[in-house]
Amino acid sequence: MDYPLVIGQMLASGLSAAPDQRITYADQVEMTYAEFGQRVARLGSALASLGLGPGAVVAVMDYDSHRYLESFFAIPMLGATLHTVNVRLSPEQVLYTINHAEDDAILVHADFLPLLLPLLPRMRPVRLILLSDKPVPLPEGFAGEYEELLAEGDAAFPFPEFPETTRATLFYTTGTTGDPKGVTYTHRQLVLHSMGVIACLAPVPGRGGIKLDDVYMPLTPLFHVHGWGFPLIATMLGMRQVYPGRYEPVKLLRLIAEHGVTFSHCVPTILGMLLAAPESEAVNLTGWKVIIGGSALPEGLARQAVARGIDVHTGYGMSETCPILTIADMKATQGATGDTTAIRIATGKAAPLVQIRVVDPEMRDVPHDGVATGEVVARAPWLTHGYLRNEAGTAALWRGGWLHTGDVGNMGADGTLRITDRLKDVIKSGGEWISSLELESIVSAVPGVVEVAAVGVPDEQWGERPVVLVVAKTEVEAAAHAAVAAAIAAGRLSKWAAPERVMTVEAIPKTSVGKIDKKAIRASLAKAG
């Protein structure tokens, strides 16, 4: 008689809580939750009539839209798996993920047809559904157009029942080596992640965290770990939602202003891009709450954001953790009068039901003194069971019964986690482990610095030596060296952290999800010699 934890219940809660609440897609569509619920049922019915039911894998290639949100519910509610395709991968990688996922159908936006169509001959047959924002001819071989299929669908479609351990989602994470790895989540895990994140963010006093009167707009693509789970959370709570479509700074800023967006989440580069856009000056961003994840929030960017009145905090997690494990201490920053930057950029404390440890290679806890570093490992009810058809990767991920994040950090006596680096990005010089993130954070605060990346380059004598790349508005190299020297003098960094070189560059290489691509940087530096 145990009542299953399934995504359909989250939708039902939202529909019951706020039938008249609105969901907006950029400038194109606005609907109520009641209408949204009917569209989800119609989509489920349309997919079922194409033979897509329990066990099927249905891929989506779209911008952040109401359609994507409808897919978040309708596909898993059929007992099928939603495969969120990372459209920023290379065509070969997209092909790899679609074949590895064994997709039965693909919902594809017209803009991505040039990417997808040439790949079709190298896939097994799939059902194709066209998504578009304006009339486009239906390509040959397509089963139909999304809105037309919905119009024919059943607004009272009865979704099936199934166990909470049914797979709901699948997406691919690209490591630094090898093929993309498939990460899957069950209904149970997605419901529990949502409940855990709510228990972490909603009880924050004042205007902090998330509240029922927030206006939500994602700034993390929905293919990236389900938009960090927030679309599910916002829907369950019946929050006002705005989906921005393709990310264009001017449009994003306009949507924030027009709809009074109060809650978003993004990687640091997106926030930096918005703040750097000339149009941002005219937009009042006071009270906009932003969770930063994907990579560390640089101190300089945090200060810039706070100066604009943005209530910014770091979140921490990864594709394999659904993603949220910790959030910076929002209770401490609400209503605080002093400088809260250090709190906002700290990785924070474990969310409810999350267990975090920092361990040495033998899995022994390092001292909780805020200094000793080790690998961060985790347990929580929403961590992926492993990589799809990849036993070796799964075993490495879960060795010793804890999920290994591949991140290096320390833990304070009060349980506050601070990530100091990726295990693979730590710069090992002269027998010391130098945090590339710490170096970046210090240089990011130098006036004129727009972006920064620190990597280790091989050195015969010292193992590795730090090299810092900067994108800057002015000449900053000398100031960057001076800032690091001051940090060394203050005991914040070891003397080995003094960069071998600070190099001003036009742009810093990024991965498909907007993170700094240190592997590419190291490769290009090695090539440059």
Which residue, 61 or 215, is less far from its own copies as judged by CB? 215
The residues that touch its own copies, with contacts defined as CB under 8 A, are: 1-5, 9-10, 12-13, 16-17, 19-20, 165, 188, 191-192, 195-196, 198-199, 202-205, 210-213, 236-237, 331, 349-350, 352-355, 379-381, 383, 385-386, 398, 414-415
**Residue pair 89/180 in contact by the 8 Å Cβ criterion:** yes
Catalytic residue among 30, 424, 433, 515: 433
320 a catalytic residue:
yes
Catalytic residue among 173, 176, 394, 504: 173
Which residue, 204 or 443, is less far from its own copies as judged by CB? 204
We find the least distance from the C-beta atom of residue 382 to its own copies, in angstroms, to be: 8
- What does the alpha-carbon distance between residue 28 and residue 132 come to, in Å, rounded to a whole number? 11
**Residue pair 237/23 in contact by the 8 Å Cβ criterion:** no
DSSP-H helix ranges across 55-153 = 66-77, 91-101, 113-116, 146-152
For residue 7, what are the β-bridge partners?
Answer: none
**Residue pair 66/99 in contact by the 8 Å Cβ criterion:** no
We find the least distance from the C-beta atom of residue 149 to its own copies, in angstroms, to be: 28
We find the least distance from the C-beta atom of residue 170 to its own copies, in angstroms, to be: 17
424 a catalytic residue:
no
Q: Which residues of 221-242 are buried (b: 16+ CB within 10 A; e: fewer)?
A: bbbbbbbbbbbbbbbbbbbbbb
We find the least distance from the C-beta atom of residue 71 to its own copies, in angstroms, to be: 22
Q: Which residue has the tokens 């972490």?
A: 200
What is the phi/psi pair of residue 175, to 5°? -80, -170
Which residue, 13 or 512, is less far from its own copies as judged by CB? 13
433 a catalytic residue:
yes
Q: Which residues of 416-450 are buried (b: 16+ CB within 10 A; e: fewer)?
A: bbbbbbbeebbbebeeeebbbbbbbbbbbbbeebb
Which residue, 39 or 349, is less far from its own copies as judged by CB? 349
173 a catalytic residue:
yes
* E runs forming strands in 231-369: 240-243, 263-266, 289-292, 311-317, 324-327, 349-350, 355-359
Which residue, 155 or 199, is less far from its own copies as judged by CB? 199
One DSSP character per residue, 199-255 reads HHHTT-STT-S--TT-EE---S-TTSHHHHTHHHHHHHHT-EEEE-BS--HHHHHHH
We find the least distance from the C-beta atom of residue 4 to its own copies, in angstroms, to be: 8
Three-class secondary structure of residue 510 per DSSP: strand
Peptide bond into 114 cis (omega under 30): no
We find the least distance from the C-beta atom of residue 199 to its own copies, in angstroms, to be: 5
Of 417, 415, 352, 69, give the one whose Cα is nearest residue 202: 352
Catalytic residue among 331, 424, 428, 515: 428
Which residue, 381 or 463, is less far from its own copies as judged by CB? 381
Pick left, alpha or beta for residue 232 (phi over 0 → left; psi -120 to 50 → alpha; otherwise beta): alpha
DSSP 399: G
- What does the alpha-carbon distance between residue 339 and residue 412 come to, in Å, rounded to a whole number? 20
Q: Under 8 Å CB-to-CB from 112, ≥6 apart: which residues?
A: 61, 62, 87
Catalytic residue among 70, 145, 164, 320: 320
We find the least distance from the C-beta atom of residue 10 to its own copies, in angstroms, to be: 8
**Residue pair 490/455 in contact by the 8 Å Cβ criterion:** no
- What does the alpha-carbon distance between residue 86 and residue 61 come to, in Å, rounded to a whole number? 7
Which residue, 192 or 346, is less far from its own copies as judged by CB? 192
We find the least distance from the C-beta atom of residue 308 to its own copies, in angstroms, to be: 23
DSSP 527: H
We find the least distance from the C-beta atom of residue 327 to its own copies, in angstroms, to be: 11
Which residue, 67 or 187, is less far from its own copies as judged by CB? 187
Element (H, E) at 129: strand 127-131
Which residue, 391 or 414, is less far from its own copies as judged by CB? 414
> Would you please indicate which residues are annotated as catalytic (active-site) residues?
173, 320, 428, 433
